[in-house]
Amino acid sequence: MNARRDSTDGPENVDELFAEIVAGLERDGVGKDWLDLDEVGPETNTATGHDEPGPRTVVAEDPAPDPADEPERRDPADEDHYVPPEPPPFPVLRASTLAALGLFVLGILLLVAPGIFGLQSRIGTPLSLVALCAGVGWLILRMRNSPPPDSGWDDGAQV
């Protein structure tokens, strides 16, 4: 099998394809306002004596207005800045949520320092795992599967 394939988009046709793309863009009017570097001659750099592009001087058609003639402008953000409203109060936790968090904290304490409760680590570790699993499970079971009661009639897209 021949490894080389004859294709029309090889390296020899890249310049032709690029010229076609540029010609299509010029037909559409893209780049009419751009500076054509071929029309502008290179400026001679007096420091080196070589033809190199040097710094360009841009002359404005209309001079800038005198700042003394303009009224004093103030930044509107200085006077009328946004002050966010107070955040809503933190919701009050229910007793069952506090019990689940208590089990979670108890499980961590039994795992880290079972000596606080007078237990050895061989007894404290399984108890801590049971307490941790019970606390996490209780929190998961208490999660709501329905929208909040004050959400209104439009519940959005639900799958």
Mean per-residue pLDDT, 40-47: 52
The three-state (H, E, C) secondary structure of 99-149, written as one string: HHHHHHHHHHHHHHCHHHHCCCHHHHHHHHHHHHHHHHHHHHHCCCCCCCC
Predicted structure pTM score: 0.40
Its sign, for the CA torsion 12, 14, 20, 23, is: negative
For 53-92, what is each residue's pLDDT tens digit?
Answer: 555 555 556 555 555 555 556 555 556 778 889 999 988 9
CA 2 to chain CA centroid, nearest Å: 49
How far apart, in whole angstroms, are the C-alpha atoms of residue 49 and residue 22? 35
Distances (CA, A) of 30 to 4, 22, 25, 26, 40: 38, 9, 5, 5, 20
